[in-house]
Amino acid sequence: MLRLKLIKRADDRTLSQIISIYKEQGWWTASDNKKRLGKFISGSRFFLTALDGGKVIGMGRAISDSANDAYIQDLAVLKAFRKKKIGGKMVDFLVKKLKKEGFRWIGLIAQDGTYPFYEKRGFKVMKNSHPMVYGKL
Ligand SMILES: CC(C)(COP(=O)(O)OP(=O)(O)OC[C@H]1O[C@@H](n2cnc3c(N)ncnc32)[C@H](O)[C@@H]1OP(=O)(O)O)[C@@H](O)C(=O)NCCC(=O)NCCS
């Protein structure tokens, strides 16, 4: 049964499962490690896990200024569990938490043509804007 759980820290097994999700997306680099992941988790406003039994099958997080602006990031569901409404439930959960805490600006970068997925959850493509990142990709 699916369970959504916010975490502030994770045991070694949970960290390994979260790393598997990052790796499946190609979002894990050689210089990343469990200690750094622990900091991503504790430093995020919310770090959400989706659990099937005891196994982490999805994740997503929100980073913020703790008052007004927040970004949703690193949202992913393991390939084997996609198209079962899990990703949508995670986005809805994070948005609800952020709105409840008074955040007025909630943004994200929709990778790989996923913007229709986010549009279904109330997000809009920002006209005349381009997501950018510093340095080489
Ligand atoms: C994007 C992602 C999180 C969606 O998770 P999911 O659990 O498969 O999504 P859901 O089952 O909740 O889908 C909800 C709705 O969005 C649609 N949808 C899901 N993925 C989509 C995509 N990539 N493009 C367009 N629509 C999509 C579904 O068809 C569904 O529509 P419906 O409600 O009309 O049936 C998942 O595909 C994933 O992990 N992708 C790789 C990582 C990624 O791209 N993350 C997001 C960008 S940062």
Domain membership flag for residue 128 = no
Q: What is the DSSP string of 53-119?
A: TTEEEEEEEEEE-SSSEEEEEEEEE-GGG-SSSHHHHHHHHHHHHHHHTT--EEEE---TT-HHHHH
- In this predicted structure, what is the pLDDT of residue 112? 85
CA of 109, closest atom in ligand 1: 48
* Residues 36-54 pLDDT 10s: 999 999 999 999 999 999 9
Domain harbouring 29, CATH code: 3.40.630.30
C-alpha to C-alpha distance for 37 and 78, rounded to whole angstroms: 18
Entry pTM: 0.96
**What domain range is 80 assigned to?**
2-119
C-alpha to C-alpha distance for 34 and 36, rounded to whole angstroms: 5
- In this predicted structure, what is the pLDDT of residue 136? 72
68 in Cβ contact with 105 (< 8 Å): yes
* Residues 76-135 pLDDT 10s: 999 999 999 999 999 999 999 999 999 999 999 999 899 999 999 999 999 999 999 999
Question: Quick check: CB of 85 below 6 Å from ligand 1?
Answer: yes
Judged against a pLDDT cut of 90, whether residue 67 lies above it is answered with: yes
Domain membership flag for residue 133 = no
Question: Quick check: CB of 117 below 6 Å from ligand 1?
Answer: yes
Domain membership flag for residue 50 = yes
Residue nearest to atom 10 of ligand 1 (CA): 85
Helix (H, G, I), strand (E, B) or coil at 34: helix
Q: How confident is the model at residue 137 (pLDDT cuts 50, 70, 90)?
A: low
Count structural domains, the chain: 1
Distance 98 CA to ligand 1 centre (A): 21
What is the helix (H) or strand (E) element at residue 51, kind and residue range?
strand 46-52
Domain membership flag for residue 98 = yes
Domain membership flag for residue 35 = yes
Domain membership flag for residue 134 = no
Domain membership flag for residue 36 = yes
C-alpha angle 98/36/110, rounded to 5°? Answer: 45
Domain membership flag for residue 57 = yes
Write out the two tokens for 31: 């210089």
For the chain, the average pLDDT equals 96
